[in-house]
Amino acid sequence: MNAPSLFGTVGVILQLLIVVALSPVLTGLMRQIRALLEGRAGSGIAQPWRDLRKLMRKQRTSPRGTTEVFRVAPLLLVATCLVVTAVAPFVTTASALDPVADLFAVVALLTLGTVALALAGLDTGTAFGGMGASRETTIIALVEPTMLVAIFALSVPVGSTNLAAIVTSGLDDPAQVFSPVSLLAAVALIVVIIAETGRLPVDNPSTHLELTMVHEAMVLEYSGPDLAMVELASSMRLTVFLGLLANLFVPWGIATSASPLLIAVGVLAFVVKVAFLGGCLAVGEVFLAKLRLFRVPELLAGSFVLGLLAVAASFFLA
Amino acid sequence: MSTALYVQLLNLVAGAFLLTAVLILWRRELTAIIDVFALQGAALATLVGIIAVAQGSAELGAVALGVLFLRAGLLPWMLRRAAVAAGATQRETRPLVNVVSSLLAAAALTLLAYAVSQPLVELAPSPSTHAIPVGMAVVLIGFFILVTRRLALSQLVGFLLLDNGITAVGFLTATGVGLIVELGVSLDVLLVVLVLQVLKTRMREAFGATDLDELRELHD
């Protein structure tokens, strides 16, 4: 591997800045779209940032009886998101940390964050925390194989599990993007991303109804700066997943060389793609009701089959 | 049409063909199943159309139009009429194998189709023969639906899926089996659907339901 270039370092810093600064805005945008479609005025797209600022100023508290697991989880969640943001090809394919941007490493890092949060939910010892953790673990056990299989299908034609290599080969050979393999993998990955980021129809991010909440149940005991970290991390996860989806299937616009103009185009393309996907997700959510928890495995099994078919197709339709 | 574009389109349509088969297995509402079945008919017709354009054969083009009319128009229309006649929104509430397992079975069947069609592909490797496993997988999935569903109408859809798969394999291996043979097969399928529809109406009149599991004994 060549030494990290200045360009790569700039790319990493840009990606970090953009994702951290704009992911709460993405959440705000999605809430705003939803509000407008439901005929409400909405609170504006900057509201999540205002919430975060308010929470950050509050005093740190932790429930009696909780251990370090509870206190470390938000940090771990944010840290794994930051690492994935730094290594994944969002703005540029020439990340300084390119060798780390392996498919399995990225999925494992994102899972680590979820597991940390599930353990924190158990650590509180409350009924809701345990329930949320149990549900989240069920979902993640079904989600991870599907995600691996779907991205694996994309890596078969490329011959590498390096995310940047997959994106670059998509740029070089546009025909690859419109193959049945990537079509099936895209559908599988969309379902998985919806489940993983806790959106409708798997989980409702805007409810605190004890019978239905999954992610919210785990973070019920957090308050103040810790809650701010958890909220920031969950917006960042959404951005990271949508960014991966966008760049794996619509790689155009990403910067491949070190000209400032190309990097600017890369930034713009990334922001537009993620905002568009987020908008679609928000519009879709208006028309969906939450699925019963017992029906969720069915949805995820379906997406697993699609992922498996994508892998099979990448062998027999080659 | 350039070869690269031909391969690309062929693969894309083959993918859509397989995807619709899996969706039919996935959905429960009969109306949704019939809609997806119509989509699959359109995908099959497109597949034949692409082969026709690639070979510059007008006869095959006519067959493609016929397939489109029969499998994306006439058959779904008849199925829809039967579904409406059956009243209310019918759902496949409890298939013999539950949906999760049947989806996983579909994945296994696809791999099986890939394994068994390997000798066929090796006989004459070409872009179209490489898609044979897809047709074979649809045949197997159709058969699976035929044996695991309870409602007469969804079994009928399973049968038609089976036939779609056979037709696809036919076109992919021999690039068509001749206009006359295809016409004969299509008429046969149409006839089967008509006969089964009549049978289904009679069943409903006699027993009040078309859940085949409720039929315990033969009546005269």
What does the pLDDT look like over B12-34, one tens digit per residue? 888 888 889 988 888 888 888 89
Whether B19 contacts A310, CB under 8 Å: no
Give the tokens for residue A150.
């779907």
CA neighbor of A205 nearest in space, from A63, A19, A28? A28
pTM of the model as a whole: 0.83
**In the prediction, which pLDDT does B183 show?**
72
- Give the closest of B14, B16, B104 to A317, CB-based: B14
- Give the closest of A298, A313, A315 to B15, CB-based: A313
> In whole angstroms, what is the distance from residue B173 CA to residue A110 CA?
45
Q: What is the pLDDT of residues A29-67, one digit of tens each?
A: 999 999 999 899 988 889 999 999 999 999 988 888 888
- Give the closest of B15, B100, B121 to A301, CB-based: B100
Q: In this complex, do B131 and A317 lie within 8 Å of one another by their Cβ atoms?
A: yes
Q: In this complex, do A305 and B133 lie within 8 Å of one another by their Cβ atoms?
A: no
**What is the SS3 assignment for A171-188?**
HHCHHHHCCHHHHHHHHH
**In the prediction, which pLDDT does A1 show?**
40
> What percentage of chain B reaches a pLDDT higher than 90?
12
Arithmetic mean of pLDDT over chain B: 82
Comparing B129 with B179, which gets the higher pLDDT? B129
Q: What is the pLDDT of residues B53-78, one digit of tens each?
A: 888 878 888 888 888 888 888 888 88
Q: Is the pLDDT of residue B176 over 70?
A: no
**In the prediction, which pLDDT does B28 show?**
81
Give the tokens for residue B133.
């496993």
Q: Would you tell me which residues 164-193 of chain A have a C-beta closer than 8 angstroms to some C-beta of chain B? A: 175, 178-181, 183-184, 187
Whether A174 contacts A303, CB under 8 Å: no
**In the prediction, which pLDDT does A150 show?**
86
Q: Is the pLDDT of residue B129 over 90?
A: no
| Domain regions of chain A by residue span | 6-316
CA A17 to chain centre: 16
> In whole angstroms, what is the distance from residue A301 CA to residue A297 CA?
6
**In the prediction, which pLDDT does B139 show?**
93
Counting as low any pLDDT under 70, the low residues of chain A are 1-5, 95-96, 98, 317-318
**In the prediction, which pLDDT does B90 show?**
65
Identity of the amino acid at B2: S
Chain B residues close to A297, C-beta within 8 Å: 100
| Mean pLDDT calculated for residue range B74-99 | 76
Give the tokens for residue A315.
């062998």
Chain B residues close to A187, C-beta within 8 Å: 19
Chain B residues close to A317, C-beta within 8 Å: 11, 14-15, 130-131, 134
